[in-house]
Amino acid sequence: MIIVDDSAAVRGAIRQFVEDTTGIVVCGEAEHGQEAVQKAKDYCCDLVLLDIGAPHLNGVETAAALRLALPHIKLVGFSQAASTVGEELVISKRFDAVLSKFDGLTKLVETLKSLVSVT
């Protein structure tokens, strides 16, 4: 899994919680969309947690690039505005799930576990 957020503190908190509570391996972090696409290709990961408001390439553009490069990848978007854009992004098949950052880490972990096999 790769975690994409422009805040190192947010990436670190999510990484720690995910690694402490699941069998999901976080293989990398990215500050922005361009970095996320490159790392996803380099690490051949199967899951990306993507801040929809990420800089450089926004989350929707990054999702499109990831889907093109790695069609099998699972994408989870998270945003402060998820309630207004989330359903549309899932329906459009850009994301497998979209959550609000306000939903909390427990809901995030439940969603991640539902999308990948956890050992």
CATH of the domain at 76: 3.40.50.2300
Query: Band of the pLDDT at 83, cuts 50, 70, 90?
Result: low
pTM: 0.87
Residues with Cβ < 8 Å from 46, sequence gap 6 or more?
A: 1, 72, 73, 74, 116
Within a domain: 119: no
Whether 80 shows a pLDDT value over 80: the answer reads: no
Within a domain: 1: no
Within a domain: 90: yes
Within a domain: 3: no
Structural domain range at position 47: 8-113
Q: How far apart are CA 101 and CA 73, in angstroms?
A: 21
Q: Which residue has the higher pLDDT, 66 or 93?
A: 66
Within a domain: 58: yes
Mean pLDDT value across residues 3-13? 94
What residues form DSSP beta bridges with 3? 29, 49
Within a domain: 71: yes
What residues form DSSP beta bridges with 97? 76
Q: How many domains does the chain have?
A: 1
Mean pLDDT value across residues 7-18? 94
Whether 81 shows a pLDDT value over 70: the answer reads: no
Within a domain: 118: no
Within a domain: 69: yes
Q: Which residue has the higher pLDDT, 100 or 21?
A: 21
pLDDT tens profile 24-78: 999 999 999 999 999 999 988 899 999 887 777 778 889 889 999 999 999 998 8
How many residues appear in the chain?
119
